[in-house]
Amino acid sequence: MDELDSAIVRLLQTDARQSNRELARQLGIAPSTCLERVRALTRRGVIRGYHADIDPVALNRGVQAMVSVQVRPLSREVINTFKTSAAEMPEVLSVFVLAGGDDFLLHVAVRDLDHLHAFLLDRLSKRKEIVGFRTSVVFQQVQKAAPSRLP
């Protein structure tokens, strides 16, 4: 993971679809070298994949919310069960298992507020292990295009 690797990763985070030639050109190295570097990064698991970034509205997900959830009892089994169930719900983008006051944080994205309400009442509340949850609607989200490597 030298300076060149970092630069490759940075460029691929910004645009994963540029050709190997273009990548090499921007880095000032030979395409063959660049290709081998990218492969090595993939082999080592540094590059885990490539994903398209899609407009949420086109996916009927114009409304986002963060839902913090408390479950009981706090056993490994209950945690795992809830984590898996939550992750399988189509409205849920990601599940965070937390240390602290809340046990989970769910990042959800739905079509509209009606859908959010329905999700909370009809799907989430149905789960017996939940002893409380709190929902915060997301007004805006600023997302970093490419998190850089920290020093």
Q: Which of 3, 52, 73, 128 binds a second copy (CB under 8 A)?
A: 52
Amino acid at 98: L
25 binds a second copy (CB under 8 A): no
In angstroms, give the least distance from the CB of 54 to DNA.
19
Instruction: Pick between residue 25 and residue 115 the one whose CB is nearest to a second copy.
Output: 115
Enumerate the β-bridge partners of residue 151. none
Q: Which of 115, 118, 120, 130 binds a second copy (CB under 8 A)?
A: 115
Torsion of the alpha carbons at 138, 142, 143 and 144, rounded to the nearest 10? -160
| Contact range with a second copy by CB under 8 A, out of 27-35, 70-78, 128-136 | 128-136
120 binds a second copy (CB under 8 A): no
C-alpha–C-alpha distance, residues 59 and 52, integer Å: 13
C-alpha–C-alpha distance, residues 86 and 45, integer Å: 27
In angstroms, give the least distance from the CB of 57 to a second copy.
9
The answer to whether the CB of 79 falls within 8 A of the CB of 103 is yes
The answer to whether the CB of 116 falls within 8 A of the CB of 65 is yes
37 binds a second copy (CB under 8 A): no
135 binds a second copy (CB under 8 A): yes
C-alpha–C-alpha distance, residues 80 and 50, integer Å: 28
Per-residue contact track with DNA, 22 to 61, x per CB under 7 A? Answer: x-----xxxxxxxxxx------------------------
Instruction: Name the binder of 52 from DNA, a second copy, none, CB < 5-8 A by kind.
Output: a second copy
**What Å distances lie between residue 137 and 38, 53, 91, 134, CA to CA?**
39, 22, 14, 10
User: What residues line the site for DNA (CB under 7 A)?
Assistant: 4, 19-22, 28-37
